[in-house]
Amino acid sequence: MIPLSDHSMLAKRVHDEESRQSFVNDFRVHLASQVFPGNFPTYYNRVLPQFIKDKGREPETRHEVRRVMTHDPYYSFWSAMQRNSQEMIWDSVIDSVERQLPELIEKSRKPGNKGSLTLDPDLETPKYHVAADIHLQPGAYHSDQIDDDVAAGAMYDWGTYIYSMGGLGTGNNALGQITYGFFKNEFPDAKPKRILDMGCTIGGSITYWAQQMPDAECHGLDVGAPVLRYGHARAEALGAAVHFSQQNAEHTNFEDESFDIVMSHILLHETSRTAIQNVFNESYRLLKPGGVMMHMDLPQAHGQPPLEGFLFEWEIYNNNEHFFAQLRDMDMPELCRKAGFKDENILPKSAGSFWMEDQTPYADDGFEFPITMAIK
Amino acid sequence: MPKDDQKKIKLPRTAKGKKPQYFADPTVDKLLSMVLTLMGELSVTRDRLDTVERLIESNGLFKVDDIEHYEIPDDVNAVRTERRSAYIARVLKTVQDELDSLQQKGDGKNTELED
């Protein structure tokens, strides 16, 4: 595994910690490139013929495929190994973070002063965030285990990188690179003065934006204090000016019409049916006239054949991504309309994909993230 | 300097949320977790041995035969005992997970999905 680029907040790994992480990375590459593809012949040669024999027709929906595939021994074994690999990611990063936690906290207490950090200890963590630990990260992104905790952020930095099998890039910022490249392509002459990234966790994306646009005032918000503390110290270590604040994207304390860009990176599928509309309403409220909303998330079900639709949803049922099940079928332009955007200014797009660099098995599959874009 | 209580922090190791059961017999789920962990740990050990062999070769520090006749001092023995204990806990983590989940508050379901 090619390691993340070092910075002063990154948890350092001793020999066996590095080796364990590399094993998990390589195991996941093997699962993705050698085991997962076997689900296709399993379906077409075994599961589908049996379905046709029983029902006299092919499955019409991904839900019908799920009911039969989840009982297939090949699929089940791949699925069980994939789940284990996700748990092993966190298990492989937790030791180095736990060992260095006092030192990381000390460092985070005296970051630079380019940006800022504003925490709100009274902020209520939304139910959709506390119900289960998203992505199986033990303790999730919001739990403080100790005063001034940064553990969740330190785990997230290595953990998401291993999750992506290096696809997030050694700067752990590929998602920010995608939205930044997309924005520059759509609006080559724009000079945004104030930018907000909702659900920023450790600020991988907004920190990248701040590095590219040092004259813009860049803000990142999240409900999780430990990821924000870490993100602030990380951004300062990288020399970027980002203003982090602990807020819920549904209702923020920023003024009306105060941002040129309001965006998010794979935040929406971690929310709820009520919250997602609130996030769009809040985005509309915060944008200046002519400002741009860009919410990047995972592909929806429209147009996916039943088998592909089913396989794409693995994380819903196996990686605590519960709301993604509903987001898959939601009408994103309708959310924009309800938020106040005019029809002609709602522009669903997609962007990708240097998310997957050449060290990942997905390098050539043309994966694209949909971006719900609207202009106020 | 960090306070004493910070040195003792133990981070949670089990994610909250219902864990799917993949096989008809849940014991098979546990056995698979253990096999995969053993795969990982054997790989880690092989990497470590490889590092040692390369350092021996590049530095000429000692003979490989010295390893065969190594007498274990008490302090080394204690370190190894601790490491073995952590190793056993890691491979058997799947058993601990079940216990941790039983002790977590809530059922791990996202109740807002019904709204």
Q: What is the pLDDT of residue B110?
A: 56
Q: What is the pLDDT of residue A278?
A: 98
How far does Cα A126 stand from its chain's mean position?
A: 17
Q: Can you list the positions of beta strands (E) in chain A?
A: 116-118, 194-198, 217-222, 242-246, 259-265, 287-296, 346-351, 369-375
Please state, in angstroms and as integers, the Cα–Cα distance from residue A95 to each residue in A98, A148, A271, following that order: 5, 19, 30
Q: What is the pLDDT of residue B81?
A: 84
Q: What is the pLDDT of residue A356?
A: 47
Closest C-alpha among A299, A334, A314, A360 to residue B22:
A314
Q: How many domains does chain A have?
A: 1
Q: What is the mean pLDDT of each successive set of 10 residues along chain B, which is 115 residues long?
A: 61 90 92 92 90 85 74 86 83 79 66 48
Q: Retrieve residue A211's tokens.
A: 């590095």
How far is the C-alpha of B15 from the C-alpha of A138, rounded, in Å?
4
Q: How far is B103 from chain A (nearest CA, A)?
A: 14
Break chain B into its structural domains and give their ranges.
24-102
How far is the C-alpha of A156 from the C-alpha of A166, rounded, in Å?
14
Report the complex ipTM.
0.72
Closest C-alpha among A92, A321, A82 to residue B32:
A82
Q: How far is B104 from chain A (nearest CA, A)?
A: 10
B42 has a chain A CB within 8 A of its CB: no
For A:257-276, CB contacts with B below 8 A are: 272-275
Contacts of A76 in chain B (CB under 8 A): 22-23
Provide the residue range defining the domain that includes A42: 1-376
For A:96-155, CB contacts with B below 8 A are: 97-98, 101-103, 105-106, 126-128, 130-133, 136-140, 143, 145-146, 151, 155
Closest CB to A16: pick one of B9, B48, B113.
B48
CB contact under 8 A, B44 and A20: yes
Q: What is the pLDDT of residue A351?
A: 84
| Per-residue pLDDT reduced to its tens digit, A104-117 | 999 999 878 999 99
Q: What is the pLDDT of residue B108?
A: 61
Q: What is the pLDDT of residue A365?
A: 56
Q: In chain A, which stretches have pLDDT less than 70?
A: 353-366
B113 has a chain A CB within 8 A of its CB: yes
B13 has a chain A CB within 8 A of its CB: yes
Q: What is the pLDDT of residue A375?
A: 98
CB contact under 8 A, A132 and B109: yes
Q: What is the pLDDT of residue B114?
A: 43
